[in-house]
Amino acid sequence: MSIEKFNQISPSEFFYSNRDLAGFSNPTRSLYTAVREFVENALDACDQKGVLPDVHLKIQAVDPEKHDPKHYILTVSDNGPGVDSKHVPHAFGTVLYGSKFGLKQARGMFGLGATMAILYGQITTNKPVTVKSCTDGQTQDKFEILLDIQRNKPVILKHSTKPASKKGLSVSICLEGDYSKAGGKIRDYVYETSLITPYASITFDDPKGQKFHHPRFVKDIPKAPTIIRPHPHGIDVERIRRMIVESQFEIPSIDDAMIEKVRRELGLAKKNLGFESMMARVEKKWKTLTRQVRVVISIVSFLGMDLERLSKIKIEDIDVPNKKLFYWDFGDSQSKSVDIDPESSYYKQLTNTVQGEQLTTFLTKRFQRVGPATAVKFAEFAQLRPEKRMGTLSNQELVHLSDSLQKFDAFLAPDSSCLAPLGESPLEKGIKKFFNPDFAAVVQRPASAYSGFPFIVEMGIAYGGDIKSGGPHVYRYANRIPLLYDEGSDVVLKVVNETDWARYKVKGEPPFLIVSHICSTRIPYKTAGKENVADRPEIERELRLALQFLSRKLAAYMSKRGQAEMAKKRANLYAKYIPLIAEFCTELAGKKKKPDYSQILEQSAPEIEAPNAKEAEIETK
């Protein structure tokens, strides 16, 4: 008989052993992924605070003479809000620590990738991450941090401060990479990022001393997304369990501040009252008390203590089923308990707190798009009592609740205010600036949802100008991230490839491109590497509708262009042949002077006005 040994591993360890999942499979891919993670974090930080981003990316070889793969120093600086110095060690030295856990559109979900990059750098070079942060525009904190992989804890090697003039964050890691192979992708990434982030200024200094500068060409930052509650369709049992834990009215910790608050609300700031007289005063003032104070008073009512004594204990547990209240007495240094009397008028106050909200309250307060009427209707649908306390739900009931939430179809569609599409005008400006096309059109589809996650599809199409032939060239974005790898299996590619372009008068090796941007609180990536989007039918449908709309615009333009080209061709034909005819007939007729054929040429000038290439109207909607 063997004994299996179960070890809990830290998240750091988990990612250490599964780093392929996060895009750190080899030096080429890892360098690219690290660049992405830091640039995206910088842009996200700026977006959140409504700052027009200035992002500076720099990659230097530690020893330029060596051959790839070799060690590189990767530095990304931004002008964002910075990170509070007390959070820096945890933010950059712990896996799964971050500020992005709320439900809204952001490039990264949890700030996980950056830590992965740091972890990767540390594994390959054994060098710490250097973080410089300034949150107030006056002082800059500089940290050098290593990750303790087994314990998932930061180890601060150095910490210093110095005066600074600007807010912002700069993160620098040393990692093994292969720039000769990754360079192309990194440059593409920076280029494509600046297309979808026209309000950002991005500079890239590459290891060979080349500078790539993409200036900002839109001055307005898109409206920042709001953090919203989840939609009932986008939920599972585990998520509900976590929400219940979060929603349970916590027993307030009874510290000095709390006691001070109780005194204030009871008007006992100056004097001390005994237990009995205090409770009498409570009854008079009950209606004016805050909920937290009421909970404290309820506890006190069972303890039978005055406030003086209360400051010398710590509540350990409230055991509702056994009607016991456990507390730690600092005076005697031991755990004690008192009974809770169910007959007491304070009993309900206490148990409600512990057992959590009623089902309907839980639904209306914790979810988006659920009103009291819908909540009651849902309770009926799920055959649960509307006033059922969430804390009392059994495991089975939880599963049933989760299933019912999925099945109930009377919920309104998810709220899209948590999404931040780029907008038609900036997208159009970007396309025009980048490709100088003869024709461009953009469209933003109305918000839609898959599995309770809202999403919006934005798309642009452009033809001619600086665009290379051999199209359609597809630029894929998701939450303002360019997707460069694994395009073969992507849903956007699928939709584009299934289009019969000949139907839209696009033939041969046409110079045209498609820019697709999917915004969602959760992009259904096929892999953790965030490179291709899975073909959810709802998303595929929206992509298709957007593409069809734009293709029709393109077709209209193409037929105009075709006519203009024909007219131009014809005019050229006349310009070529009429002078020849004149020359030949002059000699034939035995004349010396050529006839004046200007009238003819005027008549043969193109009748259809060629659409002026650069002023081609950009139609939207």
Contact track, another protein, 239-268, x by CB under 8 A = ------------------------------
Helix (H) or strand (E) holding 17, with range, is helix 11-17
Among residues 146, 586, 619, 620, the one that binds another protein under rule CB under 8 A: 586
596 binds another protein (CB under 8 A): yes
Dig out the tokens for 437 from the structure.
């096309």
Judged by CB under 8 A, the stretch of 127-135, 340-348, 452-460, 591-599 that binds another protein is: 591-599
Could you tell me if 620 and 429 are in contact, meaning their C-beta atoms sit under 8 angstroms apart? no
Among residues 399, 600, 610, 613, the one that binds another protein under rule CB under 8 A: 600
Nearest distance, CB of residue 593 and another protein, angstroms = 10
Among residues 6, 67, 588, 621, the one that binds another protein under rule CB under 8 A: 588
Nearest distance, CB of residue 610 and another protein, angstroms = 16
Residue 523, Cβ density class (10 Å: 0-12 exposed, 13-18 middle, ≥19 buried):
buried
Q: Which is nearer to another protein, 373 or 585 (CB)?
A: 585
Q: Which is nearer to another protein, 395 or 598 (CB)?
A: 598
The residues, any chain, with a CB within 8 Å of residue 63's CB and separated by 6 or more, are 70, 71
CA-angle at 303, arms to 298 and 305, nearest 5°: 100
592 binds another protein (CB under 8 A): no
Could you tell me if 463 and 431 are in contact, meaning their C-beta atoms sit under 8 angstroms apart? no
Q: Which is nearer to another protein, 498 or 587 (CB)?
A: 587
Nearest distance, CB of residue 596 and another protein, angstroms = 6
Nearest distance, CB of residue 559 and another protein, angstroms = 19
Judged by CB under 8 A, the stretch of 290-298, 305-313, 442-450, 568-576 that binds another protein is: 568-576
Q: Which is nearer to another protein, 155 or 581 (CB)?
A: 581
Three-class SS state of 482: strand
Site of tokens 């209209």:
556
Judged by CB under 8 A, the stretch of 30-38, 87-95, 462-470, 587-595 that binds another protein is: 587-595
101 binds another protein (CB under 8 A): no
Q: Which is nearer to another protein, 343 or 596 (CB)?
A: 596
Assess whether the previous peptide bond of 69 is cis (omega < 30° from 0): yes
Give strand pairing partners of 54. Answer: 201
Nearest distance, CB of residue 612 and another protein, angstroms = 23
- Other residues' Cβ atoms within 10 Å of the Cβ of residue 264: 11
Compute the Cα dihedral for 115, 120, 121, 123 and give only its sign: positive
What part of residues 271-330 is at the interface with another protein (CB under 8 A)? none
The residues, any chain, with a CB within 8 Å of residue 496's CB and separated by 6 or more, are 472, 474, 514, 547
603 binds another protein (CB under 8 A): yes
- Other residues' Cβ atoms within 10 Å of the Cβ of residue 593: 6
434 binds another protein (CB under 8 A): no
Judged by CB under 8 A, the stretch of 169-177, 345-353, 400-408, 581-589 that binds another protein is: 581-589
Among residues 217, 408, 485, 597, the one that binds another protein under rule CB under 8 A: 597
- Other residues' Cβ atoms within 10 Å of the Cβ of residue 239: 13
Nearest distance, CB of residue 568 and another protein, angstroms = 11
The count of residues interacting with another protein (CB under 8 A) is 23
Judged by CB under 8 A, the stretch of 123-131, 408-416, 474-482, 573-581 that binds another protein is: 573-581
HEC sequence for 494-547: HHHHCCCHHHHCCCCCCCEEEEEEEEECCCCECCCCCCCECCCHHHHHHHHHHH
599 binds another protein (CB under 8 A): yes
The whole-angstrom separation of Cα 15 and Cα 118 is 12
DSSP 160-225: EEEE-SS-EEEEEEEEEE-HHHHHHHHHHHHHHHHHH-TT-EEEEE-TTS-EEEE-----PPPPPP
What part of residues 469-528 is at the interface with another protein (CB under 8 A)? none
Q: Which is nearer to another protein, 312 or 591 (CB)?
A: 591
What residue ranges bind another protein (CB under 8 A)?
570, 573-574, 577-578, 580-582, 584-591, 595-597, 599-600, 603-604
